[in-house]
Chain A
Amino acid sequence: MSIYKTAIQKPITTGLIFVAVIVMGLFSLSRLPIDQFPEIDPPYVTIMTTYPGANASEIETNISKILENALNSVDGLKNLFSTSKDNLSIVTLEFEWGVNIDDVMNDIRSYVDLVYDNLPDGVSRPMIIKLNSSAMPIMQLGFTAEESYAGLDKILEDNVVNTLNRIDGIGNISLSGAPDRYVYVDLDPNQLDAYNLSVEVVGNAIAGNNLNLASGTVKMGKEQYQLRVESEYIESSEINNIVVTTTPDGKQVFVRDLATVRDTIKDLSLDERISILEDGQEVLGKEGVRLQISKQTGANTVEICRKVNAEMEKIMKILPPDIKCTVIRDGSIEIKNAIFGLADSIFYALLFVVLVVLVFLGNWRSTLIISLTIPISLIVSFIYLLMADSSLNIVSLASLTIAIGMVVDDAIVVLENITKHIERGSSPREAAIYATNEVWVSVIATTLVIVAVFVPLTMLTGMAGIMFKELGWIVTIVVCTSTATAITLIPMLCSKMLKANKFFVNKEEEKEYLAKQKKKIFSHKNTIGKLFDKIDLWYSKLLRVCLDHKLITMLIALAIFVVSLIPFTNGTIGTDFMQQQDNGNMSIKIELQRGTRIEETLKTARRIECRIHELIPETKVISTSAGSNDESSISALFSGTTNNKINMTVRTSKKYERKRTIFEMAEIIREELKSYPEIINYSVSTSSGGGGGMGNNNVSVEIYGYDFDETNILANELKHKFKELPSARDVTISREEDRAELQIVFDKEKLARHGLSTSQAAMYVRYRVNGMTAGFLKEDGEEYDIVVRLKEEFRNSLTDIEELTIMSPRGEKIKLSELAEISEYWCPPNIERKNRQRYLTVSVTPYNASLGDLAKDVQGVIDQTNIPLGISTRLGGSYETQQDTFKDMVTLALLIMMLVYIVMASQFESFSKPFIIMMSIPFAITGTILALLITGTTLDMMGALGLILLIGIVVKNGIVLVDYINLMRDRGYELKEAIALSGQSRLRPVLMTAFTTILGMVPMAMSTSEGSELWHGMGVVVIGGLTVSTFVTLIVVPVLYAIFSRKGERDDQAKLRKTFVFMDINNADYEYLDKEEENMEVVINQNEEPKND
């Protein structure tokens, strides 16, 4: 008993199985998290090692090099980077995407352990850190306040952070720019000198009086008491009244006599300013605090953001009314926009496909049956996604859009055959059984072709692998499900829903019925049906003409193909890695002159903010950060701002609410920033940043060379030349410039004479300038530093520093200038290395040009530049990734072509037929180039994927055609006739499946929703390629078939029978093989003529 027969005979079982599948799918859908990309760990591992006191080049030789050499043999390593800076070595290992990072971590750990003994003494244990995609903040909230500003840190910590931490799935919440409370004791050095005191004495006095101590137990009579000294400061004002010393004449010297005690917020800190605009007017612009929320791995971003927003509404009610909260960035909005945009695309694709089916079939019952396969097949993919622990992301949804056009194909073939049987008078039930029996094998065969295209996608590695793995699986699963539906549910539904042909008992009745049918002028049969009949006939005539002029036809086709390649070879069509997305966010990085004080940096920042308000009225929120919390902390490494750097995040209105694109706005800002003399470097990036650098789009020139000066000169020369290029923007050099430092060089002899050592002296200087932490002020369980140091006006010039008093152990007061020289000095840059060689990069972002064009320009500049001996350059950045990916894609395309060939060859049991069919692939390329040219799109990774998909989609057309020609020949039709008849009969199915696929892609190519740019290229490629190749295939494949066919090759039987001559049957009527073809032609032509008249 065959599967389709069972399905038809047990309609309830069949129906309910599919209902069960749908229910499971919908259940899975409700459980699926929504995310932007498939979950994947970025393949980076960082090893941080500190070596206090070593400078960059010492770190390089003693730590970075040793670690690099050891780690170089870790399996799967792609690139090895290191940065050596003062006190710190950072080694970063880059692996192929998709590598199991946990395994790799173990490897790394053992390698690090191996070499740990070779590292110098005093080196800390290397920290091995795994970069995690969930470490990236998914949401940023900005808080501003008026009166409560000073206490904002604590208010937020207590009310917001603690409450939000309770939300499921939240990984980490951090506050940046929060005002830290500090108690400063600002000493006047003149007063200190007058009383013969030093900073340390004051500090010790303050620390010494700030103490709670358990002092044992006292037993009194029958009881026992704990004895405690309680002397901690309750308020900061108490410090004023601490006695530092008593003068010989008995006077007490209080802290208030020497210093000002300020209970305030930290002086130098990270400056965060949040500015909110409405209609170009600033409604709020204030120093604020930025709250960054990151999620746990695998948590649902959208859900968390929703909960955070709901929770924040409640929290805002209990916060002091002057505190305002703004969303700077809500990761879920981007995701939701992208996902809903794609969901719209799916909906429209579904609508278009159903319309195509309706137009072609003209029967609502058939349309309904076919349409049913779409949701069923798509829903199954949700079950897969849930089982694979994936999410609803732009890849999975786009896969569904791609699949929509293909899932109906099988159903169409089955339904078409069933309809044919019903029209011949079978009852729907029998028609369903026998018609399905006729086509089910070929339905499965065409599905195999699609599977042959998509399964190899799941084997891709690297960045493309992440994107395409899920796509491969989903389309495979969806298409297989659609085939299963086509041979079970579709026949079952046909047997139930289709109506049998009208049956007439006598001629009268039939005449009446036919007359009635004729009256329905606007019925499908009388309008569109007639049109299709005409097209069918016209096409078959055209085919006959072409078959008579095979050579000319082929030459024309060849000419079309060759001409179409011109735009590609002469560079009219550019190549990109990924289309830049306009998601309304810009991140601006500005670098001022080295050593600019934070106050000056902030002034510039404020000016730029004002200009952005004027220039870009579309701006909604600007969040600016500058300075850093603590120059030496690890977090400072990641925050990226220092006293001379400004980071700005600009959020503009939604894409459809504005006329200008984010790229135009970025260009305006770039022009503006150009005019500031104090800015030495700037970049305005529009990339989304999410997804582990997938959004990047740049060409970077890697310059390898040991000598700093030589490489710096070359980098600067290239930078200036790149800036001249019209296609280049945001030219930045990765190596930081030398930083000016004041160096104190102690004279050791003089130090010794005063009984001091360098370390003591250094400590004294630090206490005076940076401050000495003299205990904490405790309040409500929080500790605030008490910092004792000199007043600012006594420590901010070179003379002031020279005038610093240092107390020798003998009580002598010595000025620093007596012990040391202070010289200005340029601190060497951080040493960056890649794959064990010193290097730096000059990166360039394209503007109004494709990545490939820019890379060509950049290469041109490099070729013209004189590169010194010992220095090598190469192109990297996303251009390199693009090149790698394209190479992968070409391999993949070849592999897929092989597989498709194998599937087709086995289906036709022929070596030549698959070649004929594959001749439609070049014309897919023609169409693609044409479409790219017309729409002005560049070929990016998605477009390349589209091309690969075309291999499968395009040959499907050919298979349908060639299969039918074979069939007609087997049934004894002469070659030309078989081809013409097949063309006429198969035109509609070919056009129908092509149109469903093309129109299924239209929403993807036309969508303007946020994030749609990503898929735009693929839509354009598939539409263009399939349209052109369909029309060309319809001519070229039949003509090629005619060219490649030999007489009687289809007639194995005749060949065999030739060997039966021994039977010696003398029958003139029996046609032998050699005569067959000519005779048939004559016979059929005779039949034809009267028809044509």
Chain B
Amino acid sequence: MKSVFIVYNQANTERVEYILDALNIRGFTYWENVQGRGTKIGEPRRGTHTWPEMNSAIMTVVPDEKVPELLETVKKLDNRNREVGVKAFVWNIEQMI
């Protein structure tokens, strides 16, 4: 099992939810308002007057074979408009109950 952590501009909320549903991923954990900044060019999302936009984050734990498909879809979403921004990170899940 792998955990995929997707951080995205709030404007992408509906699309990310669609990705999970369409890929039959049921379980997730969702943070509505998270702040962040891209490593290279990504603008800060701080919810302030200067940087008014905000990110949301979803973490989902999926079987290993699902990961490539999920990442690929996220990549497609990101390619549509790089400015809006979506990122995905993958962890190993060591144990679950």
Interface residues of A (CB under 8 A from B): 421, 424-427, 429-431, 433-434, 437-439, 441-442, 503, 967, 970-971
| Partner of B50 from A424, A430, A431, A970 at Cβ < 8 Å | A970
CB–CB B84/A426 < 8 A: yes
Given contact pairs A430-B11, A430-B14, A434-B11, A424 touches B51 in the complex (Cβ within 8 A): no
A433: nearest chain-B partner, CB-CB: B10
Query: 8 shortest A-B CB distances, which residue pairs?
Result: A438-B52, A970-B50, A426-B11, A425-B81, A430-B11, A434-B10, A434-B11, A424-B81
- Chain B neighbourhood of A442, CB < 8 A: 49
A426 to B51, CA, bound (A): 18
What would be 7 A-B contacts, judged by CB atoms less than 8 Å apart?
A: A424-B83, A425-B81, A434-B11, A438-B53, A970-B49, A970-B50, A971-B51
- Chain B neighbourhood of A437, CB < 8 A: 52, 54
Contact with A along B23-52 (1 / 0, CB 8 A): 000000000000000000001000001111
A441 to B13, CA, bound (A): 23
Given contact pairs A424-B81, A425-B80, A430 touches B52 in the complex (Cβ within 8 A): no
Summed over the interface, the residue pairs from A and B with CB atoms below 8 Å come to a total of 40
- Chain A neighbourhood of B10, CB < 8 A: 430, 433-434
CB–CB B13/A967 < 8 A: no
Interface centre among B11, B43, B53, by most A CB within 10 Å?
B11
CB–CB B11/A431 < 8 A: yes
A970 to B48, CA, bound (A): 11
CB–CB B14/A429 < 8 A: yes
- Chain B neighbourhood of A430, CB < 8 A: 10-14
5 extra interchain contacts, Cβ-Cβ under 8 A, other than A424-B81, A439-B52?
Answer: A425-B11, A430-B10, A430-B13, A437-B54, A438-B53
A393 to B70, CA, bound (A): 66
A421: nearest chain-B partner, CB-CB: B11
A149 to B31, CA, bound (A): 94
A612 CB to nearest B CB, Å: 70
- Chain B neighbourhood of A429, CB < 8 A: 14
B11: nearest chain-A partner, CB-CB: A426
- Chain B neighbourhood of A421, CB < 8 A: 11
CB–CB B84/A424 < 8 A: yes
Q: Which residues 42-79 of B have a CB within 8 angstroms of A?
A: 43, 49-54
- Chain A neighbourhood of B11, CB < 8 A: 421, 424-426, 430-431, 434
A441: nearest chain-B partner, CB-CB: B49
A439 to B53, CA, bound (A): 11
B9 CB to nearest A CB, Å: 8
- Chain A neighbourhood of B84, CB < 8 A: 424-426
A1070 CB to nearest B CB, Å: 16
CB–CB A434/B53 < 8 A: yes
- Chain B neighbourhood of A970, CB < 8 A: 49-50
Interface centre among B50, B51, B53, B80, by most A CB within 10 Å?
B50
A1063 CB to nearest B CB, Å: 21
B56 CB to nearest A CB, Å: 10
A984 to B69, CA, bound (A): 43
A952 CB to nearest B CB, Å: 22
CB–CB B14/A967 < 8 A: no
- Chain B neighbourhood of A431, CB < 8 A: 11
A967: nearest chain-B partner, CB-CB: B50
A972 to B56, CA, bound (A): 24
A971 to B49, CA, bound (A): 10
A659 to B88, CA, bound (A): 78
A437 to B51, CA, bound (A): 12
- Chain A neighbourhood of B53, CB < 8 A: 434, 438
A391 CB to nearest B CB, Å: 44
A967 to B44, CA, bound (A): 13
- Chain B neighbourhood of A433, CB < 8 A: 10
Interface centre among A421, A426, A503, A967, by most B CB within 10 Å?
A426
A427 to B50, CA, bound (A): 23
A427 to B52, CA, bound (A): 18
B10 CB to nearest A CB, Å: 5
CB–CB B83/A971 < 8 A: no
- Chain B neighbourhood of A426, CB < 8 A: 11-12, 84
B45 CB to nearest A CB, Å: 11
- Chain B neighbourhood of A441, CB < 8 A: 49
B47 CB to nearest A CB, Å: 8
B40 CB to nearest A CB, Å: 15
- Chain B neighbourhood of A503, CB < 8 A: 80
A439 CB to nearest B CB, Å: 8
B6 CB to nearest A CB, Å: 16
- Chain B neighbourhood of A438, CB < 8 A: 52-53
A180 to B12, CA, bound (A): 90
- Chain A neighbourhood of B13, CB < 8 A: 430
A366 CB to nearest B CB, Å: 19
- Chain A neighbourhood of B52, CB < 8 A: 437-439
CB–CB B50/A971 < 8 A: yes
B91 CB to nearest A CB, Å: 28
- Chain A neighbourhood of B49, CB < 8 A: 441-442, 967, 970
A426 to B84, CA, bound (A): 8
A426: nearest chain-B partner, CB-CB: B11
A908 CB to nearest B CB, Å: 10
A868 CB to nearest B CB, Å: 71
- Chain A neighbourhood of B50, CB < 8 A: 967, 970-971
- Chain A neighbourhood of B14, CB < 8 A: 427, 429-430
- Chain A neighbourhood of B81, CB < 8 A: 424-425
Interface centre among A424, A503, A967, by most B CB within 10 Å?
A424
B17 CB to nearest A CB, Å: 11
A440: nearest chain-B partner, CB-CB: B52
A511 to B50, CA, bound (A): 36
A425 CB to nearest B CB, Å: 4
A430: nearest chain-B partner, CB-CB: B11
Interface centre among A434, A441, A503, by most B CB within 10 Å?
A434
A252 CB to nearest B CB, Å: 113
A375 CB to nearest B CB, Å: 30
A437 to B49, CA, bound (A): 10
- Chain B neighbourhood of A434, CB < 8 A: 10-11, 53-54
B51: nearest chain-A partner, CB-CB: A971
A431 to B13, CA, bound (A): 11
- Chain B neighbourhood of A967, CB < 8 A: 49-50
